[in-house]
């Protein structure tokens, strides 16, 4: 469904251009849910904004390609991107209160999206908007409501309706459960899985919560400091993480299948934007780092049908 090759994104600042996404590559398969995980600032959201052509004004795609239906999104102009957004790639943003327009009703926002992409009457658009709300578990009467009149969970459901109203091939969900309580989080996750099956969409699910990954994902992509450090199935990640960073992420959350209830924090902090490291970006925080790790940049190695960026597996890549 989507093929990303060596994608790099940089931010232009008064001190020069800083790379925030460094040579990211992966394929999104039809009908799968791919979780993209990592600490804040690792490039999760920036990569999704690059896919949708919604990067901040001072950000630039500096290399690579984003292939969707044999077209490179990275080279599209704004008019071409408008045709892809919504109808081809839908997105549920992290904060619905910031994404929904506060001065328009739910009906106005959904019907505007429908009528911008399809040649239907306003009456038919309102009918479809009501049907969409029912699909996401909201009564039709809330079409007349404004975003501030809805709860956080309801606003996120409206965002799901907006993202899926044109039946896109790909749905990007950027931390859609942030700031929601546990019971509402579960409802939103179940809704996304239900809609994914109903619309036969592929999903890129962005999160830092590994409990959610275990609940929803088929495959996992681990990002650190703008680079892919591990890619594998969900089962492989939770059974045996290969990269020390993946191991650290799993050790920092409570696991019911472990007798050790003490949480183990990853020491140190990620490199600052613009900080140049001679070797592996994770080496300053890695308990297994060697001199080679500190002076040489590890490539991606293929190990048992999974990918890992670590010299520990340099002799196992075939």
**CATH code linked to domain 2-30+38-88+214-313:** 3.40.50.300
H or E element that contains 264: none
- Give the residue ranges of the chain where pLDDT is below 70: 255-261, 315-318
pLDDT at 316: 47
Cβ(38)–Cβ(224) below 8 Å: yes
**Interval 182-231: pLDDT, tens:** 888 888 889 899 888 888 899 999 998 888 898 899 999 999 999 999 99
**Residue 296, Cβ density class (10 Å: 0-12 exposed, 13-18 middle, ≥19 buried):** middle
Q: In what order do the strands lie in the sheet with 2-13?
A: 16-28, 2-13, 59-68, 71-72
CA distances from 20 to 6, 27, 120 (A): 13, 20, 41
Q: Which sign does the torsion angle of CA 141, 143, 144, 150 carry?
A: positive
In sequence order, the 6+-apart residues with CB closer than 8 A to the CB of 213 are 35, 37, 205, 207, 220, 234, 237
Q: Which residues pair with 173 in a beta bridge?
A: 92, 205
pLDDT at 317: 39
Q: Which two tokens stand for residue 186?
A: 């579960």
Euclidean distance between the first and the last CA atom of the chain, given in angstroms as a whole number = 28
Please state the separation of Cα 315 from the chain's center in Å. 31
The CA distance from 173 to 169, in Å, is 13
Q: What is the pTM of this model?
A: 0.91
**Interval 107-130: pLDDT, tens:** 999 999 999 888 899 999 999 999
**Residue 113, Cβ density class (10 Å: 0-12 exposed, 13-18 middle, ≥19 buried):** buried
């Amino acid at each position: 469904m989507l093929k990303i090759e060596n994608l790099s994104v940089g931010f232009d600042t008064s001190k020069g251009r800083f790379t925030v996404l460094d040579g990211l590559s992966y394929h999104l398969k039809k009908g799968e849910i791919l979780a993209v995980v990592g600490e804040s600032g690792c490039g999760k959201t920036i990569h999704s904004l690059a896919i949708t052509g919604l990067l901040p004004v001072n950000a630039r795609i500096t290399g690579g390609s984003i292939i969707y239906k044999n077209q490179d999104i990275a080279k599209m102009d704004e008019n071409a991107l408008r045709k892809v957004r919504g109808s081809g790639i839908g997105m549920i943003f992290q904060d619905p209160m910031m994404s929904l327009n506060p001065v328009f009703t739910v009906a106005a926002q959904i019907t505007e999206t429908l009528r911008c992409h399809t040649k239907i009457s306003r009456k038919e658009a309102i009918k479809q908007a009501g049907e969409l709300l029912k699909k996401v578990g909201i009564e039709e009467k809330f079409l007349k409501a404004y975003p501030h009149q809805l709860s956080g969970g309801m606003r996120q459901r409206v965002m799901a309706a907006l993202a899926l109203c044109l039946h896109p091939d790909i749905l990007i969900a950027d931390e859609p459960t942030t700031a929601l309580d546990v019971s509402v989080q579960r409802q939103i996750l179940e809704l996304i899985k239900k809609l994914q099956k109903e619309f036969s969409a592929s999903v890129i699910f962005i999160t830092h919560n590994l409990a959610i990954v275990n609940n929803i994902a088929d495959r996992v992509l681990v990002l650190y400091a703008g680079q892919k450090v591990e890619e594998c199935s969900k089962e492989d990640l939770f059974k045996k993480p290969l990269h020390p960073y993946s191991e650290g992420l799993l050790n920092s959350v409570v696991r019911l299948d472990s007798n050790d209830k003490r949480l183990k924090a990853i020491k140190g902090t990620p490199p600052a934007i613009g900080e140049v490291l001679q070797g592996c970006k994770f080496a300053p925080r890695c308990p297994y780092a060697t001199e080679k790790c500190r002076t040489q940049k590890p490539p991606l190695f293929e190990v048992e049908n999974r990918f890992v960026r670590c010299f520990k597996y340099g002799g196992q890549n075939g």
